Amino acid sequence: MRKLIITTAVTGSRPTKEMNPAVPYTPKEIADAAVDCWKEGAAIVHIHVRDPRTGTPDFKLEYFKEAKDRIQQKCDMIINLTTSGLRVSASDLIKERLKPATLKPELCSFDLGSMNFQDKVFYNPPDWGETAPREMQKLGVKPEIEVFDVGHIYQALHYIQKGLIDDPPYFQLCMGTRWGIDATVENLLFMKNKLPPQALWSVLGVGRAQLPMITMGIILGGHIRVGFEDNIYLKKGVLATSNAQMVKMAANLVNQLQCEVATPDEARIILGITRST
């Protein structure tokens, strides 16, 4: 049976404990949530960090390092650190955004293409698109190419053709973000069909689109992502009690649809990456 990778995005930058008390804030809470997800079948954890006291989005390298170190002390998960600039401010924004990559995780998210992103401008200028994959390539970090619309795929193809992204390229199809592409079956098929033949891909769905999108992702031959960054509800009106509960649901779905959940080492083989130390 086909091996399928489950990614968990345990906190993101938007959900709060007021929305769901189980949202993790501190590096320890984030790491503990990740390890619990690993126990339920998640091979990859996608990490944003927060101010441990207030829960507001943060980008301090020490928080990323603590979360990464804590996870690696307890399990063999693949760690994917964000380089999103949505809530980052600095005089040299590119250098600031690339700081997590200097920790040499196996993956870093790579957003490209500026867009209106709910209440903010998600600013990803051309010089970011050129610099980020080049620097990740130097550091031995594989970019997870996060795309919110089809134009972002076209930009990624440009960088792949320039040799800035090694094979196999790995895309995260982000479906249902406000003012990104809508989370419909037709749109998911459209996005998938625009990917290069050698590409690997995963899909996420925001909010109530999570379950339909991951179901279609499994059926269409992709990988899947769940977690509080994308959705804090298990079903309508019922808050999830943990990220691990969502991973367990996803793993059960994978098995029901005649696939097998990939272990971290199996995911490394699929993605063509080497375990970091």
* Domains of the chain listed by start with CATH number: 3-271 (3.20.20.70)
Q: Crossing angle of helices 185-193/150-161, nearest 10°?
A: 20
- DSSP-assigned states of every residue in 30-78: HHHHHHHHHHHT--EEEE-EE-TTT--EE--HHHHHHHHHHHHHH---E
Query: What local confidence, expressed as pLDDT, does residue 105 receive?
Result: 98
By DSSP bridging, strand 120-122 and strand 115-117 are antiparallel
Report d(CA 181, CA 107) in Å as an integer: 24
CA distances (Å), origin 67, targets 24, 37, 203 = 11, 14, 24
Query: What local confidence, expressed as pLDDT, does residue 27 receive?
Result: 98
Phi and psi angles of residue 36, each rounded to the nearest 5 degrees, phi first: -60, -40
* Pair of tokens at residue 251: 């793993």
Q: Which parts of the chain sit beneath pLDDT 50?
A: none
Query: What local confidence, expressed as pLDDT, does residue 34 receive?
Result: 98
Report d(CA 105, CA 84) in Å as an integer: 15
Instruction: Return the residue matching tokens 């995911």.
Output: 267
Query: What local confidence, expressed as pLDDT, does residue 73 receive?
Result: 97
- DSSP-assigned states of every residue in 77-93: -EEEE----TT---SSH
Q: Crossing angle of helices 126-139/150-161, nearest 10°?
A: 50
Which conformational region is residue 31 in: left (phi greater than 0), alpha (psi within -120 to 50 degrees), or beta?
alpha
From the centroid of its chain, how far is CA 67? 16
